[in-house]
Structure 1
Amino acid sequence: MPSSPLLTNPTLRALVAIALFTYTAQNMLNVSIAPLSRALDLPEWIVGAAVSLAAAAVTALSQFWGRRSITWGRRRVILLALILALTAGTLFSAAVWARAAGYIGAFAAAGAIMAARGPFFGAAVAAIPPTGQALVAEVTPDEGSRVRGTSAFSGAINLSVMVGSLVSSALGAWWIFGPVHATPVFVLIALAIALIWLPRDGGTAHPRRHLPRLTREAVEPEEATPASSIERATDSASAETADGELPPRVSWTDRRIAPWIASIFGIYFANGVVQITMGFVVQDRGGLEPAPAVSITALMLLANAAGAMLMQLIVVPRLGWGPRRLLRAGMTLALIALTCLTLAPSLWAVAASTFAMGVASGMASPGYSAGASLAVTEREQGGIAGVINATGAITWIVAPVSATALYGWMPLSPFLLALSLVTLSCSCAWLLLRRLDIVSRAHD
């Protein structure tokens, strides 16, 4: 089996290391925020609102960062994002400290926490996946290597979720506020990695000047053939990009990618429901207090990330399946796993179902990312990378705040809503992608 791009591309290795520490910091906030809301005597909906605001920022800025990572250079984009993340993490830590010490009231603490975990941190992490996905697309020319590359990059991010869960569990067992105050430290490490190891590849770089000319048919948005079967960008297009012209935007309604989006959004919504309510689930179904719930919540999210990482780093690259088959299998498994999680009577059953949800995501996500990336031209890879990252984020705009509100009303209701959307997306994966094949053959 060919080597993974993670092993051969130094810039991608640096991006993965940056993602490891940044997403570790983010996951420490995810693990601790639900128990913290009760420990700090804040309303439960504050948790959902903070994550929803972050998702809104990711949705709005993913394509912005993805396109500019090609024009401005990856180093400049990542440095800007990490400085923003460091500011957000410091604000979050300060707000928690001030509320715990009694220096500020619940209203001020809620506002600071929503701002820090919401638009500030969301805008920062929005830059990392599209930057990495665009680079993966650049170094993986065919379907097989694209699946391996996207799977490996996603698996590396899930590894950071595992690390974040373990660190949060250890720190939370020692001190409930430990994960919060450690967040800026991890972001600072990511910033140091970016400063030292990311190469200077800004707007003066000419990465594709050597590539052959792109045909007129390939650049038409409605008639383009997949990126794996077209010729690459022209010399003049590369020069224009190098001189500051942004790559083209990719529309969410583009018929080349809309069926892929419809087939995946359900599991992203379900993941948002599971992750944001897990802190409440372990307290209510396990009868735990907020302090011990931090560690158990971290272990639950660890099980979810372990399932996804196992598939993305080990199983998917060896299966040799195409994007459509991976997406269909993942969505079918997600439907079964979420049903079990909805009915799980104990924490052990919750853990097993959460692990299965991770396995399902680990199959479906690489299939979606590779399939959508292969459906567009080389010049659109920055735009499609932003769309891929924003697809999950847009479901998180609604999922956390609706899930926490519904959970406060009836604990079973957010899971029933997620189950209905997973069923819909699973149906789309089996029906719409089959029709997409007919369209593709017609274009071929």
Structure 2
Amino acid sequence: MTHTDDSPEGVSRPDRRGAFFLLFFSLMAIGAGNTMLIAAVLPPMTRELNLPDWMAGSIFALSAFWWSVTSPFWGKRSNRWGRRPVAALGLAGYGLSMTLLLIFGWLSLNHYITGTLLVFSCLALSRTMFGLLGSGTNPAAQAYVADRTSPAERQSEIAFITSGFSVGTVVGPAFAAALVATAGLLSPLAVTAVIAFTMSALIWFRLPEQREPVTDATQFDDETGARGLWRSGSVLPFLIFAVCLSLTTGILTQVFVFTVMDRMGVSGREAAQFTGPAFTVGALAVLLAQLVLIPRIKMRNKTLMMVGCVPLFVGAIILVFARDYASLILAQFCIGLGQGLARPGFSSGASLAVSPQLQGNVAGLVISANGMGFIITPFFGLFIYEYVNPQLPFVFCAGLLAFMVLFARFGLKDGVGEYTE
């Protein structure tokens, strides 16, 4: 069995807050880069390259597939190797992904790489590196927080650490719009790669952790009950909810970019001037939920999951009828508020449903579930938007959110994933 300084008894360690802030800024770097890519780089780039809209979503879908496959692996590895090396490796992989996107994007835009299939393959391969390696940071960071928090404070601390991603999504779109306008369409990729490599080095050298390796991984899994954890009745409902939420938010996020371009009559580089501020408003709503509302309302995780679905439902309905920019902005605010409330609910709920030894395992499963919805987003979202009906993806999301409320209400047993005195 592993000896570690990450036990709940260490929650008063003086270095805990500094470590949490370091992870906060690491997730902030990932959030900023992802939002810059979604809102200001990849959709305009694919349109300039005359690629179909659904291909932009497919690039994210391939990355999400590998993210979902590898997140549980990295969660387990963080139990055995320690949270610090896995988190650092994830950030380095993220930096590598952005570097490859920068190179292949430049080659494609300057016609050194031609042909729809070849261009798509190069961009997809670049993003795949994020799914394979970059997926290590999030489960390692969440498990690190779970290691160092008591059950009573886990919900608020997980909300704090994941809000780093949200802060990044606030900074990212506005920063990306300014970069694209002054330094070119691909400049956000270069900046993000530098930041990712820098944060990887800071995590490696500055994150406090002393964890002895587990020499017998098989014995560790048997002793802790890690095998088949995803099928357990205390964890599976949270994972089902997470998959549904990721599908919903994936559709609303990816289709939103093309909706703004089409309904505002803009394309290419001009789109960042509209999508950037909209995503900033949505990210501010996430911060409002995670840093202001959650610490004060102190809802049960189950209730938080249900309440979070309501503004998401409202946002989806607004997008069905929105024809002006103000309505699109309001929809993004509702979407951000819903995400900010729902995500900490199922993340902390799943964490509290298992023993301290399984925090890395369950964090990997939760992060994996967070990405699964994006695998099929291009088919339920962008393909339907482009070839069937532009309102239908939002109607689908509204129906799925109604199901999620009922599932959280009746599918989660009372007391599971809840802290009690």
Q: What is the TM-score with the length of structure 2 in the denominator?
A: 0.88
Q: Is the 8 A contact 2:59 2:123 kept in 1?
A: yes
C-alpha spacing 1:138/1:75, structure 2 compared with 1 (3 Å): closer
Tell me if the contact between 1:166 and 1:302 (Cα under 8 Å) persists in the aligned partners: yes
1:122 aligns with 2:122: no
Q: Structure 2 regions of 5+ residues with no counterpart?
A: 1-10
> 1:412: which partner in 2?
391
Q: Distance in 2 between matches of 1:439 and 1:355?
A: 30
- Secondary structure, in 3 states, of the residue corresponding to 1:411? coil
Once superposed, what is the RMSD of the aligned Cα atoms? 2.6
| Matched residue SS, 1:437 | coil
1:251 corresponds in structure 2 to 229
2:296 corresponds to which of 298, 307, 318: 318
Match of 1:226 in 2: none
Matched, 1:159 2:138: no
Count of residue correspondences: 402
Give 2:401's match in structure 1, choosing from 416, 419, 422.
422
| Other structure's SS at 1:176 match | coil
Q: Which of 176, 186, 203 is the matching residue for 1:194?
A: 203
Secondary structure of 1:256's counterpart equals coil
Deviating more after overlay: 353-362 vs 411-420: 411-420
What is aligned with 1:331? 309
Q: Deviations over 1:393-437 (max 9, x none)?
A: 01111113431111111211221222221121111112223xx12
Equivalent position of 2:187 in the other structure: 178
Query: What's 2:123 paired with?
Result: 113
- Distance (Å, rounded) in 1 between the aligned partners of 2:308 and 2:378: 22
Shift of 1:43: 2.2
Matched, 1:19 2:36: no
Q: Using the alignment, how far apart are the partners of 1:417 and 1:377 within structure 2?
A: 37
CA contact (8 A) 2:79 2:361 kept: no
In structure 1, which of residues 83, 92, 96 is the aligned counterpart of residue 92 of structure 2?
83
Contact 1:331 1:426 in 2 (8 A): yes
Shift of 1:273: 0.8
Instruction: Report the residue type matching 1:114 in the other structure.
Output: A
**Counterpart residue identity of residue 414, structure 2:** D
- Residues 322-363 of structure 1, C-alpha deviation per residue, up to 9 Å, x if partnerless? 211211111123222221222222121011111111111111
Segments of 5+ residues of structure 1 without an aligned counterpart are 205-238
| 2:143 maps to 1:134 | yes
Instruction: Find the aligned partners of 1:112 and 1:251 in 2 and give their Cα distance.
Output: 36
- Per the alignment, do residues 45 and 9 of structure 1 end up closer, same or farther by CA in structure 2, a change over 3 Å counting? same
1:240 is displaced (CA, Å) by 6.5
TM-score, normalised on structure 1?
A: 0.84
Match of 2:369 among 367, 391, 394: 391
Change (3 A) 1:304 1:7: farther
What one-letter code is carried by the residue in structure 1 that aligns with 2:238? W
Q: How does 1:334-413 map to 2 (within 5 A)?
A: 334-409=312-387, 410-413=389-392
Structure 2 residue 414 is matched with structure 1 residue 437 = yes
Q: Kindly state the Cα deviation for residue 5 of structure 1 after the two structures are TM-superposed.
A: 9.7
- Pick closer, same or farther for the CA change 1:9–1:407 going to 2, 3 Å: same
**Percent identity of the aligned residues?**
25
1:281 aligns with 2:259: yes
**Residue in structure 2 matched with residue 73 of structure 1 by the alignment:** 82
Out of 50, 59, 71, the position equivalent to 1:41 is 50
The code of the aligned residue for 2:65 comes to: A
CA distance in 2, matches of 1:21, 1:262: 28
Letter in 1 for 2:370: G
Pair 83,267 (structure 1): closer, same or farther in 2 beyond 3 Å: closer
Partner of 1:150: 158
Bigger drift between 282-291 and 410-419 goes to 410-419
